[in-house]
Structures are given as C-alpha cells and as structure tokens.
Amino acid sequence: MAPTLVWLRQDLRLQDHPALASALRRGGAVVPVYVLDDAGEGRWACGAAARSWLHRSLAALEAALRERGSRLILARGDTATELMRIVRATGAQAVYWSRRYEPAARRQDAAVAAALKAAGVETAEFAGTLLFDPDELRNKQGTPFQVFTPFWRHAQTLPVPTPEKVPAGPWPVPSRWPASLALAELHLSPRPAWDRGFYGPWEPGEAGGAARLKRFARGAMEDYAEGRDLPAEDGTSRMSPHLHYGEVSPRQVWAAVAAQGRESGVFPPSRGAGVFLNEIGWREFAHHLLVHFPHTPEAPLREAFARFPWAADPGGKKLAAWRAGRTGYPIVDAGMRQLWATGWMHNRVRMIAASFLVKHLRLPWTEGATWFWDTLVDADLAANTLNWQWSAGCGADAAPYFRIFAPVTQGRRFDPEGAYVRCWVPELARLPAAHVHAPWEAPAEELARAGVALGGNYPRPIVDHATARAEALAAFHKLRENGAG
C-alpha cells in the first residue's frame, strides 16, 4: 500500500485524531506533514504570540512522533505546492486532514483538494476540531443560529462522538523520508526571546494539554462557576491554547467531564462543570457564526453598526495607552499588562478591557481584535471575532448597548483585595484595597505613603467614567434612531 500523508494544522496531537487513525487503518506508511503557509492564511495569519506557542507545540509533536518511530515533516510556502512535492517524493496516493472553519482555511482546503485530485491523489477531510459540524446546525427556520441559548440547547440534543483511540505504534514509515525543514527554519520562536514569561502555567503540546485537563477536571471544575470570575485566583481551565492548536480535542474535554459525571452519577457532575461546558458551547457557537457569516472578522454582523460614530483619537494616543496598560483604570491596566507579559488575559478582565476600549474610549472593536490577535497565545479567529463583536454590541447575541462595564465597580467586585491589580500594576502595590481600584479617590497623604504619583509613575484616568458612559449611550441611542434596532 502506498503511503498516506496526514496534513496537520490545528490538530497537533496523536490521540482522538480521526484523520491520523484513518490513515493508519488504510495501511502503508503514514507521513505527518505540517506546512507553514502565511500567505494562505491571508490577513489572519498566525500572530506573534501564537507563533511562539506554535513553535513549542510542533516541537512537542515531533518528539511524540519520534517515540512512535515516526517523524514530522516541516515545510514552508504554498500548501498545495508543498504537499504535491512531498507526494512525489514519497509516492503517496492519499492525503488526509482535519477540517478547519476559518474563511481562508476553507478556501485553502478547496484549493488543496482540487490540486491533489487533479494529480490523481485521494483526499479526505475529517471532523476533529469541534463537537458539531457548523454546516449541519440550523434553527427551525432552516437558517443559522444567531443567539447562543437556542443554539446550545439544540446542539446538546445531538450525540457527542467519543474520542477515537489511535494505535500507540510503532507506525509504518516510508522507506525514505522526504526532505524537511528544521523547526528553527520556520522562524516561529522570537529573537530576542520576549516570550520567556509565557509558559509558567503551561506546557505546550499534547501531553501538557492532557495533564492540565486532568488537573482541572479533578481539582477546579467544581468551583468553576464562581472561580472563573476572580482574576487573582487560578479558577479558569486555561485550556484555550490547547484547544486552539488541537493539542486536546473538544471531544476529549467532553469525555473528561462525562467521566466525572459517571463517578458522581450526575451529568454534568456539578454546577461548575455545567458552566464550563457552556464555555465549550460558546466556542462551538463562535465557529458556527464564522462559517455562516465569514465577513465578520472585518465587519459587524449587524450591518447598521458600520455607521457607529467612533470617537476621534488624534495621534492614536488613547489606543496606545490602552495597549500599554496606561489608561489610569487599574483593572484595565492590569489586564493589558498581563496580556503583554504572558500572552494571556483572564477572561473576566478581557471583557472589562474590551468594553473600556469600545464604550469608554469609543474606539473601533477591530482595533482591539487586531491587538488581541497579535498578543494572545490562544488567538482564535472565531472566538476573537465573536467576543469583540459581543463587547461592541454589533454581533450575534451581543451585550446590550446599555451594558457598559464600570471598571472600578468591576475591580472591586471581582478583585476585592486588589491582589490582581497589585501583581500587574506594581506602582499601586502599597495602596490599601479601599483605593487600589480608584487611586484618584485616595487622600494625598495616602498616595504619598504608597509612593503613587498620579500623572507621574501612574497615569490619571484618560477619560471620566460618567462622561464616557453618557457619550457612549448617546452614540448608541443615535444609532438606534437611525435603524440599528
């Protein structure tokens, strides 16, 4: 039997991998291939922080393959061209891969399939990155869902496939391996290494993802409903980068929760587990929307919002202050600095920071989406698009236009002792909890004792909350009067 290429992308694992399992069942040598094709990804090619994770994930995958007597072939350039080169070098007669759902990836899939079929090569696409196929989910009217609750209620009536076991190996290999780049030649890891602060809580790769899922399922899931909102606590799963790169599949996540349910006799086994599965559902919903509304990474789903009166920002000073964590609102600044230092931001603080950009500063949501795309290790086009449009009020199931997060109130509620702010905004570390979220309200002598110089080592607020809120509401009212609904 002639070899089969397994074209890898966002499925960088060896277990629960339908494309890989099918290639092994087909018989003959299996050749795992990863092609870095920035041009094929279009505008949304992998951002800088995500490339750092990708480097480590590919290194982990390569090591895991070698343990099974196999190898990872690396290439760079046009995907169809590189796959055809490897087909010719190996005599492969089939190429299998896992389906992706981003607009550029779907176009790439079609182009690759056409080129391979024209050359007489068998092709097959497999599910593997989602629980449910977005093309197959429709509401009662036969149209795509645009509200999460009915979407997820319907999805949960469908069977979730169990994870597919892949043989441990050794796997059949070609008589001669094709030429491959070294991982360093993909130039994914930054020089100088500004990412050295990224990986304290994480181990990129399948083994790291499986270990984190196991720890979370057994240790933190029960308290997730409350713990996920506290940025100073380790109460979230931090599974997002593992899921984005396919180091862990959503079916494996579902199975881990189900296993806990079997132990307790209830599914989901706790309120926290139910809330966590809703987050998995939100990820599914994001991909559903991206498939059916592929224009949304650049344009609002609700077309009338294209006319929203964004504020002027001469010289981009307010945007720069937001990016740098110098807005004068400590909870916002803490989140933006955590993002810059670690490639990740706590989800509650993501919402606060996003709301601040689009509703306090009234700067376009696309600016925030672009910044997050380049700075998050878990940057995912579907999730990034849905979440930013939710914050801006211009997308599916969006936050009501009048919901404007008050940064001080949010900080005091979810970081009551100020531990998160003190960690990421050390200028304020000596302020008492009563004033750490609003240092401008502190008496002058208290600021002096804490070493805080407003307008000096820590900025004054770049906008007044009450004024910014009123202006945002006025802008939204005007838009509604003009037909935004």
Please write the tens of the pLDDT for every residue from 117-162: 999 999 999 998 999 999 999 999 999 999 999 999 999 999 998 9
| Residue 122 annotated to the active site | no
Please write the tens of the pLDDT for every residue from 273-284: 999 999 999 999
Q: What does the block give as tokens for 117?
A: 């079929």
CA quadruple 9, 11, 13, 16: dihedral positive or negative?
Answer: negative
Going by C-alpha positions, the residue among 31, 47, 43, 18 that lies closest to residue 107 is: 43
Q: Give the residue with greater pLDDT, 17 vs 401.
A: 17
| Residue 388 annotated to the active site | yes
Is residue 396 scored above 90 in pLDDT?
no
Please write the tens of the pLDDT for every residue from 238-252: 999 999 999 999 999
| Residue 282 annotated to the active site | yes
Please write the tens of the pLDDT for every residue from 62-93: 999 999 999 999 999 999 999 999 999 999 99
pLDDT at 399: 63
Annotated active-site residue in 152, 194, 254, 282? 282
Annotated active-site residue in 125, 203, 347, 440? 347
Q: Are 285 and 383 in contact (CB under 8 A)?
A: no
pLDDT at 238: 95
CA quadruple 231, 233, 237, 239: dihedral positive or negative?
Answer: positive
- CB count within 10 Å of CB 483 equals 9
Burial of 464 (0-12, 13-18, 19+ CB in 10 A): exposed
Domain covering 4-128, topology: Rossmann fold (3.40.50)
Q: Which residue has the tokens 């055809």?
A: 84
Is residue 485 scored above 60 in pLDDT?
no
Annotated active-site residue in 279, 340, 446, 471? 279
> How many angstroms separate the CA atoms of 106 and 292, rounded?
12
Is residue 214 scored above 70 in pLDDT?
yes
Is residue 484 scored above 60 in pLDDT?
no
> How many angstroms separate the CA atoms of 306 and 303, rounded?
6
Annotated active-site residue in 365, 371, 390, 424? 365
| Residue 310 annotated to the active site | yes
Annotated active-site residue in 194, 310, 340, 440? 310
pLDDT at 170: 86
- Give the distance from CA 352 to its chain's centroid: 17
Mean of the per-residue pLDDT values of the chain: 95
Is residue 101 scored above 80 in pLDDT?
yes
Domain covering 130-162+206-292, topology: 1.25.40
- Averaged pLDDT, 216-226: 88
Q: Where are the domains of the chain?
A: 4-128, 130-162+206-292, 303-479
Going by C-alpha positions, the residue among 428, 228, 444, 412 that lies closest to residue 333 is: 428
Report the percentage of the chain scoring pLDDT > 70: 99
Q: What is the 3-state secondary structure (H, E, C) of the chain?
A: CCCEEEEECCCCCCCCCHHHHHHHHHCCCEEEEEEECHHHHHHHCCCHHHHHHHHHHHHHHHHHHHHCCCCCEEEECCHHHHHHHHHHHHCCCEEEEECCCCHHHHHHHHHHHHHHHHCCCEEEEECCCCCCCHHHCCCCCCCCCCCHHHHHHHHCCCCCCCCCCCCCCCCCCCCCCCCCCCHHHHCCCCCCCCCCCCCCCCCCCHHHHHHHHHHHHHHCHHHHHHHCCCCCCCCCCCCHHHHHCCCCCHHHHHHHHHHHHHHHCCCCCCHHHHHHHHHHHHHHHHHHHHHHCCCCCCCCCCHHHHHCCCCCCHHHHHHHHHHHCCCCCHHHHHHHHHHHHHCCCCHHHHHHHHHHHHHHCCCCHHHHHHHHHHHCCCCCHHHHHHHHHHHHCCCCCCCCCCCCCCHHHHHHHHCCCCHHHHHHCHHHCCCCHHHHCCHHHCCHHHHHHHCCCECCCECCCCCCHHHHHHHHHHHHHHHHHHHHC
pLDDT at 397: 78
| Residue 365 annotated to the active site | yes
- In this prediction, residue 188 has a pLDDT band, given cuts at 50, 70 and 90, of very high
Domain covering 303-479, topology: DNA Cyclobutane Dipyrimidine Photolyase, subunit A; domain 3 (1.10.579)
pLDDT at 483: 60
Is residue 401 scored above 80 in pLDDT?
no
Q: pTM (2 decimals)?
A: 0.95
